[in-house]
Amino acid sequence: MIKFIINVRYFIWKERVNMATNSSVSVKKLIEKMNLKTLTPELDVEALKIKQPDINRTALQLAGYYEHFETSRVQIIGFVEHSYTEKLSDDVKRERFEELLKNEDTPCYIFCRDLIPSDIFVETAKKHNCAVLVTSKATSSFMAEIIRWLNVQLAPCISVHGVLVDVFGEGILITGESGIGKSEAALELVKRGHRLVSDDVVTIRKVSDDTLVGSAPDVTKHLIELRGIGIVDVKALYGVSCVRDTQSIDLVIRLEEWDKDREYDRLGLEEEYTEYLGNKVVCHNIPIRPGRNLAIICESAAVNHRQKKMGYNAAQELYSRVQSQLSKKE
């Protein structure tokens, strides 16, 4: 049993390291996600890696201008670019395509609107180990979709110890020392109709300057560890409606042992924040004491946070009432 626990911890640690060092996504994964057709099945698309989320719409390069050409990006060919290349002679095509593909760091070229490139382009791409793909989607909409997907896949990433739960649409990251009751609180929230994202290890990605998205490692997805009981499969016991794969992190609840000498916030006029990957997230420090229902506290925190985002602050309302009463007495 001890050996099994050590192995589980090792796999979790290994996944943390892989997540932290992951800076690429394979072309094979892109093909599967975007439902692309490949014209170069001979190439090993698993080995071809995309290392940056930016893309390039190849245009001036087809006319022979190669200054500031980012060859390491995914390259997109639309209707206008394809029409231009079709008017070129075979000798010019060979020259231009050779110049485009000679660096061998371009992961793939994607032709939109089901456009089929010339045989010269395909042969040159095979020669330089560059995948040639085709999509039926319009160029602009496909570019927006692939940029959004790559920004998530290649976003800065860290792993933290905690539990991530979707409560009334708000992503709550519950943190605290080991054994303080994070998993038990998450299980109670699941029983009350909310959804589990991850237990024990939460992978956090910075998809934009104001958005953090959390998910679970594959090893622990949909599982909760309860001391004294063991591993609980939330998806199997409570159904698929009680789990989800990803969730934005809107609020952090930090559980801590009750300290009678510490002064805790009782009004909430000023927000406290914690920082992940440079993004600040509202954080509440919740003291733990026998008789306090953590699930209800988490629900109340989620609803209150949602209400604040919609423009109503109960603490400010109380402050206004007190000020109004004091002004009347004067």
Spell out the domains of the chain, with CATH numbers in brackets.
Answer: 25-153 (3.40.1390.20), 157-313 (3.40.50.300)
Pick the catalytic residue: 73, 93, 137, 200? Answer: 200
* Alpha carbon distance 106, 34 (integer Å): 18
* Alpha carbon distance 1, 126 (integer Å): 51
Whole-number pLDDT of residue 262: 80
Does residue 4 carry a pLDDT above 50?
A: no
Catalytic residue status for 266 = yes
Mean pLDDT of 255-273: 83
Question: How many other CB atoms are found less than 10 A from the CB of residue 239?
Answer: 9
Q: Binning pLDDT at 50, 70 and 90, where does residue 17 land? A: very low
Whole-number pLDDT of residue 253: 95
Pick the catalytic residue: 3, 266, 328, 329? Answer: 266
Does residue 289 carry a pLDDT above 60?
A: yes
Contact between 181 and 255 under an 8 Å Cβ cutoff? The reply is yes
- Which segments of the chain are extended strands (E)? 25-26, 37-38, 49-50, 55-57, 74-77, 108-111, 131-134, 157-161, 163-167, 170-176, 195-198, 201-208, 211-215, 223-226, 230-233, 246-248, 251-257, 273-276, 279-288
Whole-number pLDDT of residue 321: 87
Mean pLDDT of 47-74: 90
Percent of the chain past pLDDT 90, that is, above it, reads: 62
Mean pLDDT of 162-177: 95
Contact between 272 and 284 under an 8 Å Cβ cutoff? The reply is yes
* Alpha carbon distance 165, 238 (integer Å): 15
Least confident of 16-20, 125-129, 210-214, 217-221: 16-20
Does residue 274 carry a pLDDT above 50?
A: yes
Whole-number pLDDT of residue 10: 47
**19, 131, 211 from 276: Cα distances, Å:** 15, 36, 10
Angle of the 27-34 helix axis to the 139-153 helix axis, nearest 10: 130
Whole-number pLDDT of residue 84: 93
Higher pLDDT, 224 or 22: 224
Whole-number pLDDT of residue 265: 76
Query: pLDDT of 295-326, one tens digit each?
Result: 999 999 999 999 988 888 888 888 888 888 88
Mean pLDDT of 209-229: 90
Mean pLDDT of 149-163: 91
Catalytic residue status for 245 = no
Whole-number pLDDT of residue 13: 47
Does residue 20 carry a pLDDT above 50?
A: no
Does residue 56 carry a pLDDT above 70?
A: yes
**172, 181, 182, 297, 300 from 289: Cα distances, Å:** 20, 11, 14, 12, 17
Mean pLDDT of 70-89: 93
* Alpha carbon distance 121, 43 (integer Å): 15
Catalytic residue status for 200 = yes
Does residue 134 carry a pLDDT above 80?
A: yes
Stated pTM of the model: 0.76
Pick the catalytic residue: 73, 182, 195, 284? Answer: 182
Catalytic residue status for 161 = yes
Of 19, 20, 41, 16, give the one whose Cα is nearest residue 31: 41
Does residue 288 carry a pLDDT above 90?
A: no
Does residue 74 carry a pLDDT above 80?
A: yes
Mean pLDDT of 83-93: 92
* Alpha carbon distance 6, 61 (integer Å): 54
The mean of the pLDDT values for the chain is 88
Higher pLDDT, 203 or 20: 203
